[in-house]
Amino acid sequence: MSSSHSLILEIKELLDCDLNDSALQLAELECRPRLKDTQLPADDRLVLLRAYSQCLGRLKHHRASLRTITEFVSGPIRSQLNSEQLEGIARDIAGVRWQLGEFDMCLAQLRQIPKTHRTVQDLARMARSAALIQSPDAEDLYSELLRAQPNATEAFTFLQTRNRQNTWAADGSTYHDSASLATARSLMQKLEYRRAVSELQRLGRRHRGNALIVALQATCYYMLEEPRRARALYEQARALDSGLISEMATYADLLASDSLAVYTLGSQLLKTDQARAEGWIAMARYFLATGQTQEALAIVWKAQVLAPGCAEAHCAEGTIQLAAGSPEEAAEAFLKAHELSRSTLTFRGLVDSYVRCAKYKEAFMYAKEAAELMPRHAGTLAMVGMVLSHSAESSDKAARLLQAALDIDCHCAEAITALASLHVANQQFDAAVALIEKYLPDNESDDMYTHYADVLTLANELPKAAVNYNTALIINPDNERARVGYERIDKLMHPGSAEFEGEDVPDEVDEADEDGQGEPELELELGQRAYDSDDNYRARPLGFEYARSDTSQDMMQE
């Protein structure tokens, strides 16, 4: 048999690859016999026990896991274990009891750990278990938790309720408040954000001034693509509790285009608690906003190490990988985030990533699912329209969907840029310009001005394009695409400048024809001209690389 160390690594690799059945089979064959091997040191047997228990837990065999742990610790080996190891086993058993919903047994198990040795996680699980079974010492446990972790908003909420009532709530209102919060989170997972907001508002009326409830409402509005309202609520939540960390990773995504604001948020979060992932995610967003993608990746990977189950960390990695030009890696990151906690952000990231990989079937599948979950939502209709816009046969349907999205919400920037891209693909530059001009007053951002300047450049309105690139840079000086576009336009408008003399003539500018009437050919990153397989002239839509493929056409026909 292989060594225990190599066996543990092999099981971990299988679990990391989601090959849970294979991992359990290996644990059954190798770990179980070794647990009874008295020749093995107690430390090695304990590690094997945890690996075997983890495999059982992955497949929801919690009873079998509980039985294995209790049989092991009840045997002769108990006398060989020190107090620290016994405390670790008590936590393992409490974790399984929690998974089984046996909160009273979970609380009893954790009580075996001395008070001086209890971690914040122990206190949090004990307090919540006590509240769920309406134990009289729930208040003491929540108070202890709040002393150990001042940012424990749930403890603060519980104690606020308790202080107002002065006596234990005989009707179990605290339990119902916890259930109401769980219901709101469940609705958010189902993308039913309006219903989640209603639930949170009812909860907020019972707990006025609770920062977490306000922050959750802000997240719902952000997912509903109401960023101004969301930002106001996030700021209100932070004003209520400057140490609030929950939901701040999503707030960092909202602030992503404002490098100073996201840096300030990240710094404050890290000062509060460097062991939480949210502060590192915010700093990764800052480095991305300033064009430092490799530094951003390094920081977001640190966040993932701190919190492997944090969906926002994987979502942030997906955004960074897209900016770095790695759509396949971005798709993997967004898929992990989607599996942990799906939202409109993960749906949008998956659709965008798969489109850039030219995997239109996968993109259409996720766009359609999002549209079915939120049928009257502009953003989800825009997702479907953006995917369909990559097939010439479905361009009319795409245009109708994108216009329907704008009819629902004139602030839907994705629909504006995608519909403008569709006009560009059909060489309807005047229509693209008119479309953006119509919706630009309601969607003033550096990204929208940059898209507008891209279209103006293709329409050969160079002075106007230069003005809009400059406007984008005024809003966001770190907008690299706007900076490159402005410099390129400036060179085209002033071909006699010093930098065009000698050997430094840019590749984008061709020499004039023999009659002197030649025009420089301009290639833009998001507006390059291309020809399809039938030699019909088309232009790539802004924001996406246009491509025709049999796969995409077959998918649209289906």
pLDDT tens column, 415-444: 888 888 888 887 888 888 888 888 888 878
Helix (H) or strand (E) holding 90, with range, is helix 83-99
Q: Which residue in 385, 444, 392, 391 sits closest to 420, CA to CA?
A: 385
User: Is the full-model pTM beyond 0.85?
Assistant: no
**Residue where the block lists tokens 């519980």:** 158
Judge whether 26 lies within some domain: yes
Do residues 329 and 408 share a domain?
no
133-162: string of b/e by CB count within 10 Å (b at 16+)? eebeebbebbbbbbeebebbbbbbbbbebb
Cα 29 from Cα 55, distance rounded (Å): 12
Judge whether 89 lies within some domain: no
What's the total number of domains in the chain? 3
Q: Which residue in 301, 265, 308 sits closest to 283, CA to CA?
A: 265
Do residues 414 and 291 share a domain?
no
Q: Which residues pair with 529 in a beta bridge?
A: 539
Cα 291 from Cα 309, distance rounded (Å): 27
Question: In this structure, are residues 352 and 382 in contact, taking their beta carbons and an 8 Å threshold?
Answer: no
Query: How many other CB atoms are there within 10 angstroms of residue 336's CB atom?
Result: 19
Q: Using one digit for the tens of pLDDT, what is the confidence trace for 169-206?
A: 333 444 456 667 778 888 888 888 988 999 898 888 87
Judge whether 535 lies within some domain: yes
Judge whether 131 lies within some domain: no
Do residues 13 and 69 share a domain?
yes
Cα 333 from Cα 327, distance rounded (Å): 10
Do residues 292 and 423 share a domain?
no
Q: Which domain holds residue 340?
A: 245-357
- DSSP E strands: which ranges in 251-315? none
* pLDDT level of residue 298 (50, 70, 90 thresholds): very high
Judge whether 476 lies within some domain: yes
* pLDDT level of residue 524 (50, 70, 90 thresholds): very low
Question: In this structure, are residues 161 and 176 in contact, taking their beta carbons and an 8 Å threshold?
Answer: no
Do residues 402 and 541 share a domain?
yes
| Half-sphere exposure (Cβ direction) of 348: Cα atoms closer than 13 Å | 21
305-323: string of b/e by CB count within 10 Å (b at 16+)? ebbeebbbbbbbbbbbbbb
Question: Is 214 or 391 the better-scoring residue by pLDDT?
Answer: 214
pLDDT at position 400 is 83
**Residue where the block lists tokens 């077959």:** 554
Q: Which residue in 175, 181, 180 sits closest to 162, CA to CA?
A: 175
C-alpha 433: how far from chain center = 33
pLDDT at position 241 is 84
pLDDT at position 153 is 60
Do residues 415 and 549 share a domain?
yes
Tokens of 494: 């002033």
* pLDDT level of residue 504 (50, 70, 90 thresholds): very low
Last residue of a domain, one of 59, 81, 103: 81
Query: How many other CB atoms are there within 10 angstroms of residue 243's CB atom?
Result: 16
Percent pLDDT > 70 in the chain is 83
- φ, ψ (nearest 5 deg) of residue 228: -65, -45
pLDDT at position 245 is 86
Do residues 321 and 408 share a domain?
no
Judge whether 431 lies within some domain: yes
Question: Is 252 or 76 the better-scoring residue by pLDDT?
Answer: 252
- Mean pLDDT, range 314-334, rounded to an integer: 92
Question: Is 452 or 153 the better-scoring residue by pLDDT?
Answer: 452
Do residues 345 and 399 share a domain?
no
Helix (H) or strand (E) holding 530, with range, is strand 529-531
pLDDT at position 267 is 92
* pLDDT level of residue 539 (50, 70, 90 thresholds): very low
Angle between helices 62-74 and 42-58 (to 10 degrees): 170
Do residues 465 and 545 share a domain?
yes
Judge whether 134 lies within some domain: no
Which CATH number goes with the domain that contains 416?
Answer: 1.25.40.10
Do residues 454 and 344 share a domain?
no
pLDDT at position 162 is 53
Cα 264 from Cα 473, distance rounded (Å): 21
| Half-sphere exposure (Cβ direction) of 520: Cα atoms closer than 13 Å | 20
Q: Is 200 exposed, middle or buried (0-12, 13-18, 19+ CB in 10 A)?
A: buried
8-12, 328-332, 376-380: segment of lowest average pLDDT: 376-380
68-85: string of b/e by CB count within 10 Å (b at 16+)? bbeebbeeebeeebeeeb
Q: Which residue in 489, 422, 481 sits closest to 447, CA to CA?
A: 481
- Mean pLDDT, range 334-357, rounded to an integer: 90
185 contact partners, CB below 8 Å, separation of at least 6: 196, 216
Cα 13 from Cα 229, distance rounded (Å): 44
How many helices, marked H, and strands, marked E, lie in the chain? 30, 2
Do residues 338 and 429 share a domain?
no
Do residues 451 and 312 share a domain?
no
Phi-psi region of 18 (alpha: psi -120 to 50; beta: other; left: phi over 0): left
pLDDT higher than threshold 80 for residue 62: yes
Cα 527 from Cα 247, distance rounded (Å): 37
Last residue of a domain, one of 65, 81, 97: 81
Angle between helices 138-148 and 153-165 (to 10 degrees): 140
**Residue where the block lists tokens 């020190």:** 82
Taking CB atoms within 8 Å and a gap of at least 24, the contacts of 270-275 are 272/151, 272/243, 272/245, 273/151, 273/245, 275/306
29-33, 103-107, 233-237, 524-528: segment of lowest average pLDDT: 524-528
**Residue where the block lists tokens 């079915």:** 372
pLDDT at position 8 is 86
Cα 376 from Cα 8, distance rounded (Å): 49
Q: Using one digit for the tens of pLDDT, what is the confidence trace for 459-485?
A: 888 888 888 888 888 888 878 888 888
Last residue of a domain, one of 81, 114, 138: 81
Cα 480 from Cα 217, distance rounded (Å): 33
pLDDT at position 159 is 56
| Angle, vertex CA 314, rays to CA 313 and CA 319, nearest 5 | 100
Judge whether 255 lies within some domain: yes
165-174, 379-388, 508-517, 531-540: segment of lowest average pLDDT: 531-540
Question: In this structure, are residues 122 and 110 in contact, taking their beta carbons and an 8 Å threshold?
Answer: yes
